[in-house]
Structure 1
Amino acid sequence: MSVPDVDSVAKALVDVLKKTQDKSWTTFAPDELALLLSAFSPTHPSSLHSKAYIVLSAFCQRRRVEASTLEEGTQAICKTFEIPVSSRIADTEEREVVAGLAFLAALFDVDHLSASAIFQHDGLVESVMDALDLFPKSRNVEISVAHLLGRAAGQKACRALLGKDHRNWLEWKSRQKDDPELRAAAAVAMVKLAKGSNLDAAEVGGPAEQSMDDSELAGLMKGLVLDSRETSSLADAVEGLAYLSTNPSVKEMLSRDTAFLSKLFSLVPRRKGAPAPSLEDVAGSPLYGIVVIIANLCSYRPRLSPEEAQMAKLRRMAKASKSAGGSQAKEPEEDPLDNDDRVQERGRRILQAGAMEALTSAVRATDSRAVRSLVGKAILSLVEDKDNRENVLQAGGAKALTTIIQGILPPPNSSDVNRSPQLEASDFEPIQALAKLAITAAPVQVFGPNEGAIYDAIRPFALMVTHPNANLLQRFEAMMALTNLSSQSPEAATRIARAEGLMNKVELLMLEDHTLVRRAATELVCNLVAGCEEIFNKWGGEKNSASKSKLQVLLALCDVDDLPTRLAASGALASLTASPEACASLVELQNERHRVLSILGQLVDPTVVSRPPGDDDDEEGEAELQSDHGLVHRGIVCLRNFFFGIENKAAQLEIAAESNRVGVVRALVLAVKNCAQNTSSPILRPAAEALKWLLEHGVEIPV
C-alpha cells in the first residue's frame, strides 16, 4: 500500500477542517477518517500532528455542542472512533497498530471522556499489550504504548485497568538508557500512574502504591531536560516534572539547580510578538508543564481559617486512623520543606534564574486560559514576598497580569459588564497579585504613565471587593489598591466612586469586626471624600438622613482603638466639616447622642477630654486611646471647621458651652502650649482660630 507524502496529508487535513466548519457537515467520509486516524503517527512530523489536533478538536467540540447532555456527546464521539481505533490496535500490521495507539493518545488530550470510554472497551487494554508481543523490536510501537498508558494513567477509571504487568513494563523501559524518548514517555506514565494510584488509595483509606522514589524519577526527568534534543522527550520530561514538583524535596532539588532552571525557562518562546500557539500546539508543547513547575516551586500552603484548619485536621486524623486499622494513629506532620520560609527562599532563587521573564513570555506566547491562570497563580505566590515585587514589576509582571485579567473579565463595552461575572476562586488570583503590586508601589510604577491603564485596573479591583466569591483577604487588598489609585487624580477617585456596587460594599466593610478590613475600608473612604466631589456630597456635603448616618459611622470610627483607622476616619471628617451641611448634621448628632465634641476632643488630647456618655466605665478602651500628632492635627481642624460651620446662633452658644464642659477648650490650650517652641507647626493657626471662636461665644479661655 502506497503511503501518501506529508504535504498531501497536510493539504487533505486542511480540506477536512474546512468541511467541519460547514453547518451541513455531519461526519467524516471513510477516507477522511482513515486520514485523521493515521495523522498522529510518530513517523509524521509535529507540524502534521498540529493540523490533525485542530481537526480532531473541531470535530469533538461540534459533537459536544450538538449534544444535549455530556453523556450523549461522549457517545457520539465514541460512535465515530471506537470501532476503527480498536480494530487498528488489534491489527497485525505495524503501521496500523501505531496509528491506532497514537490516535487514542491524542484523543485523551482533546476529549478525555470519550478516550476513556474507548480505552475501557472490552479487550482494548489486552490488544495494547499484545502489540508489544507482536512487535517486540518496534520502537514506534513501544513509544506509542508508553504515551497511551501515560494518558490513560491520568484518568481514574482507566488506571483501574492497569495492573502489575503494565507497571513492570513501564519501569523497565524507564530504566533503559538506549532510547531517551522512550525512557521519558515511560517515566511520565509511571509518575502519573503512581500519583494517581496514591490519590485513589487516599480516597478509600488504603495503602499507598510503592514505586520508584520521586527524587529518582525527578533526577531522570531533569537529566532529560538538560540533555535531550528531542521535542517529544522534552515535553514528556517536563510533564513528568510537573507532576513530581508537588513533592517538597523535589521542589528543593529543582530550585537549587541553576543550569536546569535556565534550560527549562529557555524552552518558553521569548520573542515579543511571536505568534501565539493555538490549541494544536498545546498538546505537544511543554509550555503548560513549565508554568506548572514554576507555580509548584513557589506555592505556599493554603491559608486556612481556624475553622478550615480544624476540619482539615479532623480529616487527616480520620484517614490516618482508618489506614491504621482503627488503632490510634499519630497525625502526620507537615513537611518543613514546605514552610513559608523555605517557599520564600525558593521563590527568590527561581526569580534570580529568570522565572519571571519565563512567565511574562508565556502570557505573550499563548492565549490558553489554563496557562494564563497558572501564571497568575505563580505571580501571586512570588509577590507574597514584598522583596520580590520590584523584580516582578521590572520583568513586566504587572502588564502580564493585566493581560490575564482582560481575558477573564468581559470587555467594558460588553452587555455583561453590569452583571457580576461568574468567577471561580482561581480567577481572583491574578487580580490579587496585581493588587499587591499596586499597594506597595506608586501607580505609575505599576501601570506606567498612561492613565488609561490605571483606570482599567479599577474595575477588577472593585469586582474583587464586591464579588461574593472573593474572600476577606482579597477584599482587603483590593481596597488597599484602590486607596492607592484614588490618590493619583480626582478623575481616578471619581471612577472608583462610580464603580458599580463598590461604595455600598465598602460602607458595610467599615463595620467589619476584622480590624485590618475595617481600616482599609475607612482609608478608602477618606481618600474618596478628599478626591471625589460626589462622595464628598454624599457623606456630608448634602443635608439628609443618609449623610448624617455616614457621619455618625465616621465619628464612631474616630473612637476605636486602632490608630490608623482613627487617622483615616478623622481625616475624612476634617474634609467634610468644611461643609456647613455636615456641621449642621454634627450639631444634631451632638444634641441627640452628646458624643461629637467628646470624640473630636479626644483626638486632640484623650487625657483631658471626658469620655463620651456610656464609655466612662471602659477602662481598657480609655487606656488604649493614645495621643498621636496626626490625630491632634486632624482633631483641631475638625473642631475649628465645626465651630465656624455652625450657622444657628443658639446652636453656636450651646456648642461653645458644651466644649468647655467636656474639656475641649483645655485640650486646645494644651495643644497650643505644646507648640510654643515651634511657630511653624500646622496646628497653631486652626487651634488659635478655634479658641478665638470659643472666646467670642462666651467661653473663658484659661491662660
Structure 2
Amino acid sequence: MDPKSANPESDQATKLASQAIDLAKAGKTNDAFRQLEEASKLSPENEKVKSTREELRRYQDGSRLVDLCNEWLESLSDDDGEEALDYLHKHKLSDPIADEAMNILLEYKSDCDMADQLTGEVLKHPGARRALAAALVAHPTATFKKMFVRGEDTMDAMMAALRLESEWKDDTARVAAIRDAFQLALASLMEAGVDYPDRAMKLIANLLSYEAHHLHGLIDADGFDVILSALDIRLPTRIKKYATLATAKLLESSPDSAKVLISNYVTWRVRKPTADGLIVAFSAAAAVFPMEPTNAAALFLADGFLPAFVHIVQEKRSNRVEQAALDLLSVACMDKGCREGIAKYCKLWLWEVVEANVDARRSNLAALILVKIANESSLKSGGELDDLIKKFKATIVSPDQPGVVDAIEALAFASLNPQVKEDLTNDKEFLKMLIAKLGGPGQGIKPAHFGGVSILENITAYPPPLTEEQKKISELKAYANSSKPTEASPLESNEKVTVRCRTVLDAEAVPLLNTISKGASPAVLLRITKIFLSLSKEQRHRGVLAQQGAVKQLLTIHATITAAQRAKSPPSTTNPHDILHTAAHAVARILISVDPHHIDPLLLFNPQPLLVRAATELVCNLMASSVGVALFVDDSRDARTRLRVIIALTDADDLPTRMAAGGALAMITEWEPGVEAVLEQENGVRRIVGMCGDESEEVGIRGLACVGNLAQAPGAMGERGRKRLMEEKALEAVQGIEKEGRGKDVGMVDLARQIAEIMKE
C-alpha cells in the first residue's frame, strides 16, 4: 500500500461506525449515535459514516424491523428470524412501523414456529393489533385461517386483540370479528381430522369466558354437541380442559337451554347405545356432574338408567366404555341418592372389576367407588374394607404402579375410619412412599396433593372437644332415634392421636407440606394449616416444627391469602378466614414454646418482599466476582449462614427472587469450593433439584446449571456431587425436562440432555 494513500483517521472512523451498528443492534441506540459522532469528527466525508447515520435512524424509529421482516419472509431462515426477534426485544416500535411489519407477516400463509414467535411478538404493539383488526374486518375467514395454523402465540395474541376495544374503529366491528372467530373455531372442530383442535377449543373457551354476551344465538344443538364431544376421555387433557371451561361458561350464560341440550346429548346416546356413543355420553355426564350436581343426579337417577347401566356396559365388552362408566360412577358419588343407587345396582359389578384386576387403573377406580359408597353398602369395616385398604397401599408403595391418584383419593375417604387411621400410621413404608410420591421432583404427583393432605389431615386430627351441653344434646338425639348414644372410639383418644402426629412428624411430613403449599389451592392450604395446628398441639413437637420451617410456611400462607383478599381474587368454596385463623392459631402455639429469637430471622423473609428481591439480586450480581463468591464458600459460620439463606430463597414465592437466588447458586457452584459448600448444606442439593421442576423456565434453567456444575466437579468432589444428586432423584427431574421438551427453549432441553448423559456415566 502506498503510504501517502493511507488515512488513519478515515480507517478509525470506519471502525467506529461499525461499532456503532453493533451498539444499535444491542439496543443501545444513544451509545451508537455518540460513537458515530466521534467517527464523524474524525472523517465527516467518510462513506461508511454517512451510510451508518441513515441506518441508525432506521434503528431509532424502528423501521429497521420492516427490513428484517422482509428478509425473513424471503429467506424463511431461522437466523434471519432470530435477528428480527432480537430487534423486537431491544427496540421500541412506532405504531406505523408495527402496522407495516404486521402486514408483511400477514403475507405468510403456512405454519412455522418462527412465524408464530414473530407474529406473537409484533402483536404486543398497538399498531400491529390495529393492522390485524383491519384484516379481520376486511377478510375475516382468510385472516383467521392464517392466524389459526400459525401457532399458539399468534392465537393468544389474536385473542388479546379481540378483547381490546381501543384497537378497533368501533365496537360494532369488534363484535362482528368476535362472532366470526367463534363460528370459524366451532366450524373447524366439526371438520373431520381437524388440525390443532386444542387451539380451536381454547379460543371458544376464552371467548365464552370474556365475551359470552356477544355470542348469543351462535350455539345450537350441533355446536353444543361438538363441545360436549370434546370431553371424551380418549382425547388429550389439554382439549378436555378447555372443553370443560366452555361447558361451564355455557351453563353459566344460558343455564336452561344448556341443561336441556346436555340431557338430550346423554339420554339419546344411552337409549341407542354404541361403544363410541356411550364413551362420549358418560364422559360428558362425568364432566358436567360437579357443575350441576342436582340436575346431573336427576338424570343419573332417571327411571331405568341405573338398573340397565351395568348390563349396557358389560354388553359392549369395551375397556374404554368401562373406564368412562367408572369415571361417571366415581363423580356421581358426590350425591347421596346416587351413592344409594350405585350401592344397590352396581356393587357386585364393581367387586368383579376389582377382583379381575385386568387393568390396574380401572381396578383401583372401582375400589375407590366401593369406598365412597361404604356407608350405603355396609362396607364400614371388616374383611372387605381391609382388602381394599391393602390394595390401595400396595398401589402407592409400588414404584410404577398406575392408579396412584385414585388410590390416594380412596384412602382420603377411608382414613376417616379410626381403624384405618391406625393401620396407615403404623405402616412406616406406606407413609414414606406416600410422602415421596407427593413431594418428588417437580412437586410430585400434583393431582394427588388434595387427597394426600386429606389423608394426613385425617390421621392427625384431634376429636373436637364437646361441652357438657353438647354431650347432653347428643344423648337426647340418640334417645329420640331409639338408639344408644355413640361412644367415641378408643383409637380417637388424644393420646392415640398424639402418637400418630409424632409418627407423621418423624416421616418428614413438614418439608413435604412446605413444598406443596407453594401455589396450592385454598382447599389444600386449609388442610395444610389444619395439619400444622394438630402437630403443634403437643408441646414437644413445636421445636421440631420450628426447625423444619413450619413458622415461615404458615406466615407465607397467611400473607398469600391476605394478598389474594386485597386483590379480590376469584371466590373460592374455601373460606379464607378459616385459613387465616387456623394459620395464626398454629403459629401462636409454636411461638409459646420456642425462643422468639430463633424465629426472628424467618420473619425477615416475610414483610418486605421487594426488599428481599433487591437484596437477592444484588447478591447475584456480586457472584460475578471471586471475592463475592468467597463470602459464601469459606469455612466460616457466617459464610454457611449466608449460603443457607440463598438456598432457602430458591423456594421464595416471588419469581424474581427465586431467579436471583438460582443465578447466584449457579455462579457459586462454578467454583469447586462452592460445590463443596453446597454439598455440606443439609437441604442444598434437594433445593437445587427442586429448582429444575419450578413452574418458571427461568428458574428451571438455573437449576439445571447448578445440577450440571455439581455433576461435573473434578475428582472426588464430582463423584460425591453425582452421588448426592442421584439420591435426590436429580436424574429423573432432568430426564423429565428432556422428555417434556418444556416450553420453546431448545437450549434448556439440550442442556437437560447433556446433563443427563453426564449423570449416567
Normalising by structure 1, we get a TM-score of 0.53
Question: 1:304 and 2:431 equivalent?
Answer: no
Partner of 2:215: 25
* Counterpart-to-counterpart distance in 1, 2:408 and 2:292: 21
* Counterpart-to-counterpart distance in 2, 1:415 and 1:56: 25
- Superposition map of 1:585-664 within 5 A: none
Provide the secondary structure at the position in 2 that maps to 1:343: helix
Query: 1:426 and 1:449, CA in 2 relative to 1: closer, same or farther beyond 3 A?
Result: closer
Query: 1:443 and 1:7, CA in 2 relative to 1: closer, same or farther beyond 3 A?
Result: farther
Question: 1:49 and 2:202 equivalent?
Answer: no
CA contact (8 A) 1:373 1:404 kept: no
Provide the secondary structure at the position in 1 that maps to 2:233: coil
* Counterpart-to-counterpart distance in 2, 1:95 and 1:228: 34
Query: 1:16 and 1:362, CA in 2 relative to 1: closer, same or farther beyond 3 A?
Result: same
* Counterpart-to-counterpart distance in 1, 2:504 and 2:286: 33
Partner of 2:477: 315
Provide the secondary structure at the position in 2 that maps to 1:372: helix
Question: 1:432 and 2:585 equivalent?
Answer: yes
Provide the secondary structure at the position in 1 that maps to 2:370: helix
* Counterpart-to-counterpart distance in 1, 2:381 and 2:360: 24
* Counterpart-to-counterpart distance in 2, 1:409 and 1:19: 31
Partner of 2:457: 295
Aligned-residue Cα RMSD (Å) equals 3.5
**Cα deviation digits, residues 42-79 of structure 1 (max 9, x gap):** 3233344333333334444x34xx8xxxxxx5x55522
Partner of 2:319: 139
Measure how far apart 1:288 and its partner are. 0.8
Query: 1:406 and 1:309, CA in 2 relative to 1: closer, same or farther beyond 3 A?
Result: farther
Where structure 1 has 5 or more consecutive residues not aligned to the other structure, the ranges are 67-72, 199-207, 323-328, 457-703
Partner amino acid for 1:436?
R
* Counterpart-to-counterpart distance in 2, 1:7 and 1:312: 62
Partner of 1:150: 330
Partner of 2:31: none
Measure how far apart 1:373 and its partner are. 1.0
* Counterpart-to-counterpart distance in 2, 1:177 and 1:98: 21
Partner of 2:392: 221
* Counterpart-to-counterpart distance in 1, 2:565 and 2:353: 54
Provide the secondary structure at the position in 2 that maps to 1:213: helix
* Counterpart-to-counterpart distance in 2, 1:223 and 1:209: 20
Partner amino acid for 1:150?
S
Question: 1:161 and 2:341 equivalent?
Answer: yes
Partner amino acid for 1:46?
T
Partner of 2:488: 334
Measure how far apart 1:440 and its partner are. 2.2
Query: 1:210 and 1:415, CA in 2 relative to 1: closer, same or farther beyond 3 A?
Result: closer
Provide the secondary structure at the position in 1 that maps to 2:214: coil
Query: 1:414 and 1:191, CA in 2 relative to 1: closer, same or farther beyond 3 A?
Result: closer
Partner amino acid for 1:220?
K
Partner of 2:618: none
Measure how far apart 1:314 and its partner are. 3.3
More helix by share: 2
Partner amino acid for 2:498?
Q
Identity of aligned residues (%): 23
Provide the secondary structure at the position in 1 that maps to 2:463: coil
* Counterpart-to-counterpart distance in 1, 2:193 and 2:584: 49
* Counterpart-to-counterpart distance in 1, 2:437 and 2:278: 32
* Counterpart-to-counterpart distance in 2, 1:236 and 1:372: 21
Match 2:371 to one of 171, 191, 195: 191
Measure how far apart 1:8 and its partner are. 2.6
Provide the secondary structure at the position in 1 that maps to 2:412: helix
Partner amino acid for 1:378?
I
Measure how far apart 1:249 and its partner are. 1.2
- Superposition map of 1:274-293 within 5 A: 285-293=447-455
Measure how far apart 1:450 and its partner are. 4.3
**Cα deviation digits, residues 87-138 of structure 1 (max 9, x gap):** 2233332112111112211222444334223323444334533421430x21
Partner of 1:350: 504
- Superposition map of 1:246-645 within 5 A: 246-269=416-439, 285-319=447-481, 321-322=482-483, 329=484, 331-366=485-520, 368-409=521-562, 428-446=581-599, 448=601, 450=603, 453=606
CA contact (8 A) 1:167 1:190 kept: yes
Partner of 1:118: 299
Measure how far apart 1:305 and its partner are. 2.1
- Superposition map of 1:82-97 within 5 A: 82-97=263-278
Partner amino acid for 2:396?
V
CA contact (8 A) 1:269 1:365 kept: no
Provide the secondary structure at the position in 2 that maps to 1:267: helix
Partner amino acid for 2:391?
L
Query: 1:240 and 1:338, CA in 2 relative to 1: closer, same or farther beyond 3 A?
Result: same
Query: 1:122 and 1:77, CA in 2 relative to 1: closer, same or farther beyond 3 A?
Result: farther
Query: 1:150 and 1:212, CA in 2 relative to 1: closer, same or farther beyond 3 A?
Result: farther
CA contact (8 A) 1:295 1:374 kept: yes
CA contact (8 A) 2:552 2:603 kept: no
Partner amino acid for 1:297?
I
CA contact (8 A) 2:374 2:380 kept: yes
Instruction: Count residues in correspondence.
Output: 414
Query: 1:372 and 1:249, CA in 2 relative to 1: closer, same or farther beyond 3 A?
Result: same
CA contact (8 A) 1:399 1:447 kept: no
Measure how far apart 1:452 and its partner are. 7.8
Measure how far apart 1:292 and its partner are. 0.5
**Cα deviation digits, residues 253-303 of structure 1 (max 9, x gap):** 11122222222223335568x7x99xxx8xxx2211111101001111111
Partner amino acid for 2:500?
R
CA contact (8 A) 1:177 1:183 kept: yes
- Superposition map of 1:6-21 within 5 A: 8-20=196-208, 21=210
Partner amino acid for 1:263?
M
Measure how far apart 1:394 and its partner are. 3.0
Partner amino acid for 1:356?
V
Query: 1:360 and 1:449, CA in 2 relative to 1: closer, same or farther beyond 3 A?
Result: closer
Partner amino acid for 1:16?
I
- Superposition map of 1:98-113 within 5 A: 98-113=279-294
* Counterpart-to-counterpart distance in 1, 2:487 and 2:416: 16
* Counterpart-to-counterpart distance in 2, 1:436 and 1:405: 15
Query: 1:317 and 1:442, CA in 2 relative to 1: closer, same or farther beyond 3 A?
Result: farther
Query: 1:5 and 1:428, CA in 2 relative to 1: closer, same or farther beyond 3 A?
Result: farther
CA contact (8 A) 1:154 1:193 kept: no
Query: 1:449 and 1:333, CA in 2 relative to 1: closer, same or farther beyond 3 A?
Result: closer
Partner amino acid for 1:298?
T
**Cα deviation digits, residues 169-218 of structure 1 (max 9, x gap):** 112212222221111111111111123567xxxxxxxxx88986332221
Partner amino acid for 1:307?
E
Measure how far apart 1:146 and its partner are. 1.8
Where structure 2 has 5 or more consecutive residues not aligned to the other structure, the ranges are 1-188, 610-761
CA contact (8 A) 1:379 1:433 kept: yes
CA contact (8 A) 1:146 1:186 kept: yes
Partner of 2:714: none
Measure how far apart 1:83 and its partner are. 0.9
* Counterpart-to-counterpart distance in 1, 2:237 and 2:244: 10
- Higher RCO, 1 or 2 (CA under 8 Å, sep at least 6)? 1
**Cα deviation digits, residues 458-497 of structure 1 (max 9, x gap):** xxxxxxxxxxxxxxxxxxxxxxxxxxxxxxxxxxxxxxxx
